[in-house]
Structure formats: structure tokens, C-alpha cells
Amino acid sequence: MIELRPEQHEIIQKMSVFQVRAGMPPTEARILALLLVSDQTELTFDEIRETLNTSKSAVSTALNTLVLRNKVESITIPGDRKRYFKHQLKNWNANAKDGLEKLLSVNQLLKEILGVRTKETEDFNQDLKNVIAFIEFMQVELTQVFQKWNEQQENKQ
Amino acid sequence: MIELRPEQHEIIQKMSVFQVRAGMPPTEARILALLLVSDQTELTFDEIRETLNTSKSAVSTALNTLVLRNKVESITIPGDRKRYFKHQLKNWNANAKDGLEKLLSVNQLLKEILGVRTKETEDFNQDLKNVIAFIEFMQVELTQVFQKWNEQQENKQ
DNA sequence: AAGTTGGTTCTTTTGATTCAGAACCAAAAG
DNA sequence: CTTTTGGTTCTGAATCAAAAGAACCAACTT
């Protein structure tokens, strides 16, 4: 069992509220938050379960989906049967990119809608075309922004 | 009651699935999709209710939150008691900006976490600093991207 | 003033998520 | 081969969000 300072508990609370609002299940959110604030960066299944005071089943399913979604990485140390779990901070960038791309993929549907609409409603259709153009613009610009970040990072080494 | 062609029904289906995945309640999603595909761009409360085959209460609350969130605009025609509802395509841009800013606001919490962490775990802390830097970078770049788009639009007129 | 229209608000019902508890299982240790 | 460890999987049970239904209300009509 990990001992947490009061501030750490507080942040777990605030952070998980934030993530739950964004659609993440509570247990997953609390595990992620714990892995961010804990003094040890690698925790075992049981440390997580005890510290968060949650059932084995809840922790097991939550951890598995977190690993599946590349939010958490699971580490095995040779000669130790336990698995250790660690926040995948390194993937934050890539996850963000994936998330944005998924959002922008709505453009496919908007184009379909434009294809199906009456030609009568010219103003509306023009507005729709504009949204489509905006999303396409964002796609191009965001790729450049990500590229720029990656270049900056490489130059720092 | 609005008559919809099969393709229109299909798109309402696909579009609302997409939005529901992104966290929007089903009725709201279907109303938005209907307002995008319908041949008439302005529909009354009852046209929406009948076409989507939903209860008055569900339509009422959904419409009200959509109006509150600037996703739908409500129009009144003088001498007609009914309200007409229209998709706020013009606000797509601004809504996108708000949504992104909300996502990026997690940075506040990440900074708090960094302040509370042990100094022992240097690698982890460096990764965390990197995420924070990345989000700050995105904030700056995104503002510029939005600005660039707005300038382009002004020049077109 | 007695409907009718165009909704809103409150309560109940339904359905889906989430979690706990227990049974279960595979790998390693004894 | 039996036991322990480190989890997983399978029911319920509790909770929660969304929708339905019904009562309600204000504005307009007749």
C-alpha cells in the first residue's frame, strides 16, 4: 500500500473529475491520476488496488483497457511475477494526434451530406462548404504543427 | 412531418453515431444531423419531434441545450407562434475552438502535479515537463492557425 | 371565458455503466 | 502434485443518464 500525501489525494480527485467529464470511466481516470502523482512511477496491481481501495475486477479491467489504449504501459521484471504499471507520458503527443484526427474525420460525413442535399438551399450549402474547407484547412495546418514540434524536439538533442 | 429520402435517414444514423461516440446525447445528435440533411433548413419543434419519432420532453430539453451551446439557433417569425430551429453552421469554427481550449486546459492540472511530485524521479518529471511544453506549444500554434483562417476569410470578401 | 397551440417541467421507467464479490485459472514455488 | 501468487472472468447489484408520459402553463383564438 502506497502512502499518499493530502495534496496527492486532492489532485487525484481533481484530475479524475476532469477526465470523467471527458468521458473516461472513473476507475480508469483514478488509476491514470494515481500514476501521475505517485512518488513511485511504477506500481503493482495490488498497490493500485489498495491505494485506490477498489476491487480486483475493477482494477483489472481498467488497467487492461488503459494498456490497450496506450495510456499505460505494463512492465515485467525478470524473476518477478508481478507486472508493474507505468503512465505512458511519452505517448501523450501521439494520443493527442490520434484524437484530433478522429475529430477531423467528421469531414467525410459532411461531404456526404453536401452530396445528398438539395441544391435549392444555396446559402446553407455555402456555409456547409465553408465548414468542410475549414476542417480541411485544419488538417493541413495541424500536420504542419505536429511536424514543427517533432523537428524542435530533434534539434534539442 | 418531414418526408426523408433513405439516404437522408442513413446519414442521420451515421452522423449521430459519430457524435454520440464523441460524448453527445443521442437525441441531441439526431436533431443536429436532421438539421444538416433536411431539405428545409428551418424546422419547427413538431416537425423535429414527428420526424425523429421522439417525445416532446426529449426534444424540448435537447433543443434547449443545443441552443445554449450555440449549436442550433432558434428563429421566431413575427405573427407565427412557432419557433423555427436551424443548424448554426456559422459557429462551427468557434465551437471547435472552444472544444480544443477545454481539452488543453488540462495543462493547469499537469503543472500542479509537477509542483507536487518528488524531485527523485528525474526522467518521469522530464517527460511530464515535455507534455506540458507540448500543450503550451499547441495553444500558441492553434491560436495562430485560427487567426490565419480568419484572415483568409476576410480577404475573400 | 373556454378551447387550442406550442411548448416546459416534473416524475417515473427503462436501459446501460460501473463496480464488487466470488469463482476460476495459469504459472511458479515448495 | 499441492499450494501460493497474481491476476482474469463471470455473475449480480447499485447507480446513473436518457427518454417517455403526464401534468402544467402562457399566449393566442374563438
Are B118 and A39 in contact (CB < 8 Å)? yes
Which H or E run contains B85?
strand B83-87
- Angstrom distance, A61 CA to D6 C1': 14
**What strands, in cross-sheet order, belong to the sheet with B72-76?**
B42-44, B83-87, B72-76
- Kindly state whether A3 is in contact with chain B, defined as any CB-CB distance less than 8 angstroms: no
Average pLDDT rounded to a whole number, residues A65-90 = 96
| Distance between CA atoms of residues B36 and A121, nearest Å | 11
Banded model confidence at residue A89, pLDDT cuts 50, 70, 90: very high
Q: How far is the CA of B22 from the C1' of C8 (A)?
A: 28
Do B88 and B72 touch, CB atoms closer than 8 A?
A: yes
Q: Left if phi > 0, otherwise alpha if psi is -120 to 50, otherwise beta: which for B130?
A: alpha
Contact between chains at A18 and B109 (C-beta distance less than 8 A)? yes
D22: residue with closest CA to C1': B57
CA distance A6 to A12: 10
CB distance A31 to A66 below 8 Å: yes
- Buried b / exposed e over B128-141, threshold 16 CB at 10 Å, is bebbbebbeebeeb
- Nucleotide of closest approach to A64 (CA, C1'): D8
**Using CA atoms, how far apart are residues A142 and A101, in angstroms rounded to an integer?**
9
pLDDT digits (tens, 9 = 90+) for B76-113: 998 899 999 999 999 999 999 999 999 999 999 999 99
Can you give the pLDDT at residue B118? 98
Residue nearest to nucleotide D20 (CA to C1'): B55
pLDDT reading at A157 higher than 80: no
Test A131 with B7 for CB contact under 8 angstroms.
Answer: no
Give the distance, in angstroms, between residue B46 CA and nucleotide D24 C1'. Answer: 19
Question: How many Å separate Cα B149 from the centre of its chain?
Answer: 19
- Give the separation between CA A110 and CA B37, rounded to whole angstroms: 10
Which residues lie below 8 Å from residue A54, measured CB to CB, with a gap of 6+?
A27, A30, A48
Is residue A156 predicted with pLDDT exceeding 90? no
Distances (CA, A) of B8 to A60, A125, B50: 43, 15, 15
What are the sequence ranges of the domains in chain A? Answer: 6-87, 91-155
Residue A38, pLDDT above cutoff 80: yes
Nearest residue in A to B156, CA atom: A130
- Residue A151: is its pLDDT beyond 80? yes
Q: What pLDDT sits at residue A1?
A: 82
Q: What is the pLDDT of residue A102?
A: 96
| Residue A115, pLDDT above cutoff 90 | yes
Which residues, other chains included, contact A114 with Cβ-Cβ below 8 Å and sequence gap of 6+?
A125, A128, A129, A132
Q: Give chain B's residues under pLDDT 50.
A: none
Beta strand segments in A4-157, E = 42-44, 72-76, 83-87
Closest partner residue to B11 among A112, A124, A127, by Cβ?
Answer: A112
CATH fold for domain A6-87: Arc Repressor Mutant, subunit A (1.10.10)
Q: How far is residue B149's CA from residue B137's CA, in Å, rounded to a whole number?
A: 18
Beta strand B42-44 pairing with B83-87: antiparallel
Residue A114, CA distances (Å) to A128, A138, B39 in order: 7, 19, 11
Residue A144 binned pLDDT confidence (cut-offs 50, 70, 90) = very high
Selected for mutation to probe chain A from B112, B122, B125, B129 (highest A CB count within 10 Å) is B112
Choose between A1 and B100: higher pLDDT.
B100
